[in-house]
């Protein structure tokens, strides 16, 4: 049985494509490569340790139409989640 998370998490996930499109990133293979590259780059940077032992890392994703702040949560070398801030949320 599929169990949905809290509604704010669902809404946040649904808003991400619109946020990315607001800075000129359409849903293409190139966009996925850009996001993957951004996350790989930020993984090599230091971050802020959280109480649960996970690491918060932040980056900026800049495009000609604007920029977004990307916060990613890591557990060792495993990406747990990422949140996009900005772009007409």
pLDDT at residue 68, as a whole number: 95
pLDDT at residue 48, as a whole number: 96
pLDDT at residue 88, as a whole number: 56
pLDDT at residue 5, as a whole number: 63
| pTM beyond 0.85 | no
Two structure tokens written together for 63 = 């495009």
- Mean pLDDT per 10-residue section of the chain, whose length is 89 residues: 63 88 91 93 95 96 92 96 81
Determine the Cα–Cα distance for residues 28 and 35; give it in Å rounded to an integer: 11
pLDDT at residue 89, as a whole number: 44
Where in the chain are the domains?
Answer: 7-85
What is the DSSP track for 39-65?
Answer: HHHHHTS--EE-TTS-EEEEEEEEETT
Q: Is 84 helix (H, G, I), strand (E, B) or coil?
A: strand
Two structure tokens written together for 21 = 């499109």
């Amino acid at each position: 049985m599929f169990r949905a998370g809290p509604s704010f998490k669902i809404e946040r996930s649904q808003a991400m494509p619109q946020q990315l499109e607001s800075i000129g990133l359409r849903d293409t293979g190139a966009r996925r490569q850009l996001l993957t590259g951004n996350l790989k780059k930020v993984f090599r940077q230091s971050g802020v340790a959280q109480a649960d032992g996970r690491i918060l890392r932040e980056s900026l994703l800049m495009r000609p139409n604007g920029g977004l702040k990307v916060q990613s949560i890591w557990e060792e070398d495993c990406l747990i989640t990422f949140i996009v801030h900005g772009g007409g949320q």
